[in-house]
A and B are shown apart, each in its own frame.
Chain A
Amino acid sequence: MILDEVITGFRLGLGGAHGRFGLMPDLVTVGKAMGGGFAISAVGGRAEFMAHIESGAVSHLGTLNGNAAATSAALATLRELGKDGGSVYIRMEGIADRLVQGILGLLEKRGIPGLVNQAGPVFHLMFTAEKRVEDFDAFNRRDAAKYGRFAELLLEEGVLIRPSGLWYVSAVHGEDEVLATLASVDLALARL
């Protein structure tokens, strides 16, 4: 069992999604969040599988493998994330919760149907009449064009988001950013 945690690794917690779900995959891929902005990815797994790479039985080749700048950045990022037992994740999740509750309140206020799927500090906001989005078909019934327009309006209000609907809260986001973002979301929704 190989888990692709390129997105979820070090975002949902130090143990990624498998740590949250209490699963022990054989191999796991991670990247992105681990570098704190630097380009890096990694694969990890059970000692018996990783030993094949160590012995050379399985070649793991790459031009930028072990790149000094990227690995130094990742080590520094992991040191910060691991401080105080990873309490930064609790804080990030709290910030995400505040943001999500605020956005849902604004949608209700404006009478715009929509919902949020959240996984820790990661969430997906979509405009849809569905009550729940738990599979790909339901996800595809969202109004993606309307969301694209929303992202455009929000940018005019000073907040840049991904037009896909996905949001990530990072360790530098705090109360001030939540309040400023919600104020802009309110203005953008009013113009939508």
Chain B
Amino acid sequence: MGIVTPQGVLDVSEAGRALGYREGQLPSSVMGAIEGGEASVAALRELTGRARLHSGRSAWLRDESALNVLPCVARPSKILCVGLNYRKHAETLRGPRRLERLRHGGGHAGAAAGARAYGPREGRAVPWAFSRLLRRDLHFFSFRRYEASGDGPVRFRSSRNRRQSENSLKDVLLLPWNDAEALERVLRERKDEIAAVITEPIMCNNGCIRPKPGYLERMREWT
């Protein structure tokens, strides 16, 4: 496992050995770091602080371009993604308070998002392969979105209809067909937000059902 620092990628086991860490004090793999939770992250952060500017650092700092990235999660049960390719999402997630909550979330999504958002920046301990994983190997699902609210946790949820975005669902009001009263009510109540009424004149695909007398005429009159 390595940690990206401004000086290079820190080889955790090499640095741990050289700086006198005992067996089990540091996680040896990304999975171990995840399972170790806060304690693991704190230990890695401390190691990074000591090791990256140490006089013997050339023994454990590697050139990132010379390394091969291996899968950091050996047996993922599931992979969730965050829309960090959208600027707005990325900015929302970079706030430290929200990151903390993401990390507490504990799932792969939280860990991955936290890893990416913490990024390879100074003083931040992060399993470096995570950031690579996000950059290289994950596909972003456009219609899966997160909800960030005030002090509450960040929640992920997929839209109700898996083929449509929530916005498009919000933009359309569905009414029972042939129900002039329902149409009139909605037109009266929400007239300032309605741009158009669209309908088939005859429900051909559903029984060749004709409009009730006056239904389309009234629609015409009201629009």
| Residue A124 is within 8 A (CB to CB) of chain B in the complex | yes
Q: Is the CB of A139 within 8 A of B200?
A: no
Which one of B51-59, B98-106, B191-199 contacts A? B191-199
Supposing A5-B201, A8-B202 touch, asked if A136 and B209 sit within 8 A by C-beta, the answer is: yes
- The number of residue pairs between A and B whose CB atoms lie closer than 8 Å in the complex comes to 84
Q: Is the CB of B200 within 8 A of A7?
A: yes
- Chain B nearest CB, measured from A31 CB (Å): 12
| Residue B21 is within 8 A (CB to CB) of chain A in the complex | no
Q: Is the CB of B205 within 8 A of A166?
A: yes
Selected contact of B220 from candidates A4, A5, A25, A142, CB within 8 Å: A25
- Chain A nearest CB, measured from B88 CB (Å): 25
Q: In the bound complex, what is the Cα–Cα distance between A126 and B211 (angstroms)? A: 19
Residues 138 to 157 of chain A near chain B (Cβ within 8 Å): 138-139, 142
Selected contact of B204 from candidates A3, A26, A27, A119, CB within 8 Å: A119
Residues 105 to 129 of chain B near chain A (Cβ within 8 Å): none
Q: Is the CB of B204 within 8 A of A1?
A: no
Chain A CB count within 10 A is highest, among B178, B204, B216, B219, for B204
Q: 1/0 per residue A3-37: CB within 8 Å of B? A: 11111100010001110010111110000000000
Supposing A8-B204, A21-B216, A23-B217 touch, asked if A134 and B210 sit within 8 A by C-beta, the answer is: yes
Q: Is the CB of B205 within 8 A of A139?
A: no
**Given A23-B220, A117-B208, list of 5 further CB < 8 A pairs?**
A1-B196, A12-B202, A17-B202, A119-B210, A136-B177
Selected contact of A136 from candidates B196, B200, B206, CB within 8 Å: B206
Supposing A23-B220, A135-B178 touch, asked if A7 and B209 sit within 8 A by C-beta, the answer is: no
| Residue A73 is within 8 A (CB to CB) of chain B in the complex | no
Using CB atoms, name the residue of chain B closest to A125.
Answer: B208
Q: Is the CB of A3 within 8 A of B200?
A: yes
User: Can you list 17 A-B contacts with CB-CB less than 8 angstroms, sorted by A residue number?
Assistant: A2-B196, A2-B197, A2-B198, A3-B199, A4-B201, A7-B200, A17-B201, A21-B211, A26-B196, A119-B202, A119-B210, A124-B207, A134-B210, A134-B212, A136-B206, A136-B207, A165-B207
Q: In the bound complex, what is the Cα–Cα distance between A122 and B205 (angstroms)? A: 10
Selected contact of A4 from candidates B200, B208, B209, CB within 8 Å: B200
Q: Is the CB of B207 within 8 A of A126?
A: yes
Interface residues on chain B, size class: 20 to 34
Residues in B whose Cβ lies below 8 Å from that of A24: 220
Q: In the bound complex, what is the Cα–Cα distance between A162 and B207 (angstroms)? A: 13
Q: In the bound complex, what is the Cα–Cα distance between A18 and B220 (angstroms)? A: 11
Residues in A whose Cβ lies below 8 Å from that of B200: 3-8
Q: Is the CB of A118 within 8 A of B208?
A: yes
| Residue A123 is within 8 A (CB to CB) of chain B in the complex | yes
Supposing A5-B200, A8-B201, A119-B204 touch, asked if A133 and B220 sit within 8 A by C-beta, the answer is: no
Q: 1/0 per residue B175-189: CB within 8 Å of A? A: 001100000000000
Using CB atoms, name the residue of chain B closest to A9.
Answer: B201
| Residue B158 is within 8 A (CB to CB) of chain A in the complex | no
Q: Is the CB of A117 within 8 A of B199?
A: no
Residues in A whose Cβ lies below 8 Å from that of B197: 1-2
Q: In the bound complex, what is the Cα–Cα distance between A101 and B110 (angstroms)? A: 66
